[in-house]
Amino acid sequence: MGKLTVSLCGIELDNPVIPASGTFGYGYEFAEYYDINELGTFSFKGTTAAPRFGNETPRIAETPAGMLNAVGLQNPGVDRVKREELPKLKAVFSKPVMANVSGFSVGEYVEVVEKLDEEEQIGWFEINISCPNVHGGGMSFGTDPNAAASVTRAVRRATGKPIILKLSPNVTDIAGIARAVEAAGADGVSLINTLLGMRIDLAKRRPLLGNVTGGLSGPAVFPVALRMVWQVARAVKIPVVGMGGVSRAEDVIEMMLAGATAVEVGAANLIDPFACRNIVRDLPAVMERYGIENLKDIIGGANQ
């Protein structure tokens, strides 16, 4: 048991740092740069039943202290993920991995989870009910407590592995959604997905993104994310995975003090491929600076 160890839904993590889905592919590309076993785990690219090309380009726009993305769940589909991506992942990562699953119907979430369930390396399912960049699925499940609960109940029946519902910040009361998925059988929640935003190209006088709107991430959203982690952690008993603009070890500790059991890192991976490794390496020194002996002891510490 190291000083960085935490337990997430019954599975021990060597450290709480988790690259967020959509910023880390299926892991093997980052393994060209460093040994990704240094990470607690990672959440792989959002996977759907059928292959998806995603949205038209441009899919990325810069913002003050952050970025918008409207990738739109590009992925090869669950069958090819099992056949091609997971063997490559397994070759470079020896720990339990988090499987991020998206869908456009309750049935699709169930289908993908059922197909992935037999994969031994999958430790947790992260159920994305909060993608802001697709229409008719994604976020529409995450903005209504009843719809969020129905996805949760269906997925709950499809797997015995821990399910973590990834929540949208684009709601009036995120704690209410969190309570609804907890009551429906979720083992944990992760938040926040990106905040809906847009930009306009001044020269062309048109929306910059092909999809018009996109999800805002990066340091700009950190205080909003932290506030929501705080609210949700006080509202539910299941573990909370905090994310949103985390880019340094100090941010990880702040998220944990607000109530996060583990912390995902997203946009930072796209600016610096070594971001997560550097955060893991920086944590001991930052803990020492703030007199923290064991990370797990500070979870929710700001609320006591």
Partner 1 sequence: MKQTVLTVQTNEPIAKNVMKITLSGDLSAIVRPGQFVNLKLDGFYLRRPISVCDAEGDLLTLIYKVVGEGTRAMAGYGKGKKIDCLVGLGNGYDEKDAGDRPLLVGGGVGVPPLYLLAKRLTAAGKRVTAILGFNTKDEVFFENEFRALGCDVRVTTVDGSCGTRGFVTDALHGLDPTCLYTCGPEPMLRALYRATTCPGQFSFERRMGCGFGACMGCTCKTITGNKRICREGPVLKREEILWEN
Residue 290 is a binding residue for partner 1 (CB under 8 A): no
Give Cα separations from 299 to 56, 145, 188 (angstroms): 41, 26, 14
DSSP string, 108-159: HHHHHHHHHHT-TTEEEEEEE---TTSSSSTHHHHSSHHHHHHHHHHHHHH-
Smallest CA-to-CA distance from 71 within 22, 37, 21 is with 22
Q: What is the token pair recorded at 147?
A: 């719809």
Strand partners, 99: 125
Residue 61 is a binding residue for partner 1 (CB under 8 A): yes
Residue 199 is a binding residue for partner 1 (CB under 8 A): no
For residue 161, count other CB atoms closer than 10 A to its CB: 21
Q: How many whole angstroms separate alpha carbon 153 and alpha carbon 133?
A: 24
Q: Which stretch binds partner 1 (CB under 8 A): 9-17, 22-30, 108-116, 121-129?
A: 22-30
Question: Which residue is associated with the tokens 């992260």?
Answer: 126
Residue 25 is a binding residue for partner 1 (CB under 8 A): yes
Give Cα separations from 63 to 33, 160, 195, 227 (angstroms): 27, 41, 12, 21
Considering 131, 167, 180, 279, which one is annotated as catalytic?
Answer: 131
Residue 74 is a binding residue for partner 1 (CB under 8 A): yes
Smaller CB separation from partner 1, 23 or 143: 23
Q: Which stretch binds partner 1 (CB under 8 A): 7-15, 69-77, 109-117, 234-242?
A: 69-77
Residue 271 is a binding residue for partner 1 (CB under 8 A): yes
CA-based R_g, the chain, Å: 18
Helix (H) and strand (E) counts in the chain = 10, 15
Smaller CB separation from partner 1, 130 or 269: 269
Among 22, 142, 242, 259, binds partner 1 (CB under 8 A): 22
Write down the least CB distance from residue 297 to partner 1, Å. Answer: 33
Q: Which stretch binds partner 1 (CB under 8 A): 56-64, 110-118, 224-232, 279-287?
A: 56-64
Q: How many whole angstroms separate alpha carbon 66 and alpha carbon 220?
A: 6
Smaller CB separation from partner 1, 84 or 297: 84
Residue 222 is a binding residue for partner 1 (CB under 8 A): no
Q: Which stretch binds partner 1 (CB under 8 A): 20-28, 127-135, 156-164, 251-259?
A: 20-28
Write down the least CB distance from residue 53 to partner 1, Å. Answer: 6
Write down the least CB distance from residue 127 to partner 1, Å. Answer: 20
The residues near 237 (Cβ < 8 Å, ≥ 6 apart) are 182
Smaller CB separation from partner 1, 86 or 154: 86
Q: Is there a catalytic annotation at residue 276?
A: no
Smaller CB separation from partner 1, 24 or 125: 24
Smaller CB separation from partner 1, 67 or 101: 67
Angle between helices 174-183 and 222-235 (to 10 degrees): 40
* Binding interface with partner 1 (CB under 8 A): 22-25, 29-30, 32-33, 45, 53-54, 57-67, 69, 71, 74, 218-219, 267, 269-274
Q: Which residues are catalytic?
A: 131
